[in-house]
Amino acid sequence: MSVYAITATLRHYAAHTKCCCNCHTQTLCSTYRYKRFFFFFSHQKSEFHRLTDARVFLSDCMACGNCVTSEEGARIFAQNQTELFKVLSLNKKCDTSLHRLVVASVSPQSVPYFAVKFGLSVCEAARKLCGFLKSLGVNHVFDTTIAADFSILETQRDFIQRFRRQAQDEHAFPMFASACPGWVQYAERVLGDSVTPHICTSKSPQQIMGSLVKGYFASHKNLSPDKIFHLSVAPCYDRKMEALREDYYTALYKCRDVDCVLTSGEILQVMEQRNISVKEIEASPLENVFGGTTCEFVRHEGTSSDGYLAHIFRHAAKELFDMDVKEITYKTLKNKDFQEVCLEKDGETVLSFAAAYGFRNIQNMVLKLRKRKFHYHFVEVLACPGGCLNGKGQAQTADGKPEREMLQEMEEAFTRVPVLSPESKPHIQELYASWLEGAESQKSRDLLHTKFVPAPQAGARPDMKW
């Protein structure tokens, strides 16, 4: 389908998915309508497919500011299973100049979805998922946890540096986590320069994985980055948008660090379309970028995200105040998705961290920030209530609501996965030394960090009342 046809279809689609205030005539909302958009085109039966022609009410709008233009929509749409199968089928043809090594990296928050769907443990589900992707023709399947390790360590480093320069830098605090593209886009497009300098510059795990695959792994394989097709399996649609950011495109090779993002729900849909049952899939262990296999699936602290708050809190307590934090005690504020953690020394609060999940809590946080009543050092911000397990690309009901029972099962399954901190993994230090030329090097900054730039119209929008 040509871009013109897609654009025309988008317009048609937009006209048929009416918002009660008609605000979206030329645009589609990323967090709410991506899903409808994708399944409008797919014409496949799936758990998400009963969504076409639904009305979108203003109350559904999260004021995330991520309204997607027709042009962006067309580019996001290009990241679908057809794109993957195009590459896989070219790989079967005789013309080897068109062949590309297909690498998939799987987000750790996607695997519990498959575990519950397959009725297996997270570890077994990871092996089945890997086996399924390989049966399609994917050459290597990695776990994105290694990239989250780097992202956590770089966020820790940024935090310590900000703490030490806070007297000279008015933007040092609060510092916001940068792992969630939904939140980052909202900050850039809506909140503007009152917030963007406060966002940690570390790339998200997905995009660090992009650097690892198209950089370290490509050179290990003696391939140029454009000879690798990198698929990311993720829990949300926002990561499709993230993969398209300008920063993640290499003009020299005319390729992106992540070529295609498919959500967990979309991968399951491929299985359904092919009528493949879990029993038929031959399990295969996940691999690592060093060329070996990974027998065990491990996670970071935190029940449904990568646990930035917990890691940075412990690290900062030790590094800045020489205090060992054994147990982290969370205090629930307005709701379970808005919590805080404080460190006291000699009767004085020396560190105060918060977790704000979901746009309602983000909006409250921003209102307090504007009134200068928000005094946290670090905030782990995630766009989805409950965190990444609740991403819009998995475990959703037909009317776009989270499947509560399934989410609970996913959380339970994820909690059973053993925790391993990034500091205790020797290969991370090895990669800092061999690939990045040291943790403080320019190469580390170039490959593990990015810039968050406010959009020209940001900051001009009226506040949304919740």
The contact set with ligand SF4 (CB under 6 A) reads: 180-182, 235-236, 238-239, 382-384, 387-388, 391
Question: What are the tokens at 442?
Answer: 């320019």
The residue whose two tokens read 């449904």 is 304
CB of 275 to ligand SF4, least distance (A): 29
Strands (E), 290-401: 293-294, 331-332, 338-345, 348-357, 378-382
| CB closer to ligand SF4, 225 vs 391 | 391
Question: Dihedral sign, CA of 196, 200, 206, 209?
Answer: positive
Considering Cα of 439, then 231, then 239, then 244, what sign does the dihedral take? positive
Return the structure tokens found at 396.
């959703």
Comparing every residue's Cβ against ligand SF4, the nearest one is 391
Q: Which residue has the tokens 């085109």?
A: 41
* Among candidate residues 182, 228, 209, the one with its CA nearest the CA of residue 447: 209
CA–CA separation, 360 vs 351, rounded Å? Answer: 24
Q: Which residues contact 366 (CB under 8 A, 6 or more apart)?
A: 191, 195
Q: Annotate 373-415 with DSSP letters as a single string.
A: ----SEEEEESSTT-GGG-TTSSB-TTS-B-HHHHHHHHHHHH
Q: State the Cα–Cα distance between residues 172 and 158, nearest whole angstrom.
A: 10
